[in-house]
Amino acid sequence: MTKTIVPKGYVSTLGNYETQTAIGFIKRCFEEALTGSLKLKRVSAPLFVARNSGLNDDLSGVERPVRFDIPALDGDEGEVVHSLAKWKRMALHDYDFRVGNGLYTDMNAIRRDEELDNLHSIYVDQWDWERVITAEQRTDTYLKETVKGLVNAIAETSSRLHTKYPDVNVTIDPRVSFVTSQELEDLYPTLTAKERENAYVKEHPTTFITQIGDVLNSGERHDGRAPDYDDWSLNGDLLFWHEPLQCAMELSSMGIRVDRDAMLRQLELANATDRLEYTFHKMIVDEKLPLTIGGGIGQSRMCMLLLGKAHIGEVQVSLWDEETRNACAGSIELL
């Protein structure tokens, strides 16, 4: 069975030329809405970090970062970022951001071990954002309020896109359904995690699944999460129903970040206490880094969702294997 799905009778609403203009429009509109909703300031971001810094995102713990030696630094190695989850928190400290304010940046990454399909590419582009909060704001209620603000920014962008391109008939439901990963398992005990997402999001087209990373009652995890940035009890994934592919599409992973106690607990559970030797982790233990909330929002994923595209290769330039190109030939135009 091919990993690439070509929906029966699929024809893109916009051609390649119009699509490029629409991508620029979406990005401008969303950045305006996002910064207004979450009070964020744009900053520049690194493409790579030092291998021994502890700042790279370990994702689910098995992905290999792209590494390279740097002769000018006496052979020290750099790593192309997977995301900026840890770097952003350090930047908020270094740039002296205060409570209620935050940053966002354009993040470009390479995930060499990604399995390619309609939604996944080895090239990742996203808006990475982070905001300083208080200890009293480390609550489920505050997380949900932030999610609603993010969804409103996406819905506003979709509405403005439809005004400019009336033939694009994608509608974003601003009403968010919140469900924990355990509640999802209880609802669909015989389904896999991805099957549970599809079943639930089909009925609730804008969904935020909370509490991802810890072990469920079944002994399995809903999905992997690094133990040293999200607090597994205060995080989640934002998903939308993607009509052309008839599946749930994850657009954002986000959460309230670990404080000292949450990080120590999660590092112990993940058998990763060796990371406490890194400067980043020491600063959390010593409570020198600000408490924050943050996440990433896929740029290509958002363009794909709002434009009703069937493949992420229609909205970004990447590398594709022969099987993918053959499956798309004649129906889907890859960039």
In a domain, 6, yes or no: no
- To which residue do tokens 């979450």 refer? 38
The encoded tokens of residue 61 equal 């713990």
Burial of residue 88, with CB atoms counted within 10 A of its CB: 0-12 exposed, 13-18 middle, 19 or more buried = buried
Q: How many helices (H) and strands (E) does the chain have?
A: 9, 11
- To which residue do tokens 């999460």 refer? 225
Give the number of domains in the chain.
1
In a domain, 246, yes or no: yes
In a domain, 5, yes or no: no
- Looking at residue 256, its amino acid is I
| CA–CA distance, 116 with 114 (Å, rounded to integer) | 6
The encoded tokens of residue 118 equal 């309609």
What confidence tens digit (pLDDT) does each residue in 225-234 have?
A: 889 999 999 9
Supply the range of the domain harboring residue 204.
16-327
Q: What is the mean pLDDT of the chain?
A: 93
pLDDT value of residue 265: 97
What confidence tens digit (pLDDT) does each residue in 52-84 have?
A: 887 887 776 678 999 999 999 988 899 998 889
In a domain, 288, yes or no: yes
If DSSP codes are grouped into helix, strand and coil, which group holds residue 60? Answer: coil
Please check the confidence at residue 189 and state whether its pLDDT lies above 80: yes
- Looking at residue 140, its amino acid is D
* Contact of 196 with 184, CB cutoff 8 Å: yes
In a domain, 3, yes or no: no
| CA–CA distance, 265 with 294 (Å, rounded to integer) | 20
pLDDT value of residue 2: 58
State the DSSP code for 66.
P
**16-30 average pLDDT score:** 95
In a domain, 4, yes or no: no
Residues designated catalytic? 57, 111, 126, 237, 250, 253
CA distances from 212 to 116, 120, 208, 232 (A): 23, 20, 11, 6
What confidence tens digit (pLDDT) does each residue in 113-157 have?
A: 889 999 999 999 999 999 999 999 999 999 999 999 999 999 999
How far does Cα 249 stand from its chain's mean position? Answer: 11
The CATH number for 96's domain is 3.30.930.10
pLDDT value of residue 149: 95
pLDDT band at 267 (very low <50, low <70, confident <90, very high): very high
If DSSP codes are grouped into helix, strand and coil, which group holds residue 82? Answer: coil
In a domain, 145, yes or no: yes
- Looking at residue 332, its amino acid is I
Pairing between strand 40-42 and 230-242? unpaired
In a domain, 83, yes or no: yes
- β-strand partners of 79: 49, 67
pLDDT value of residue 1: 45
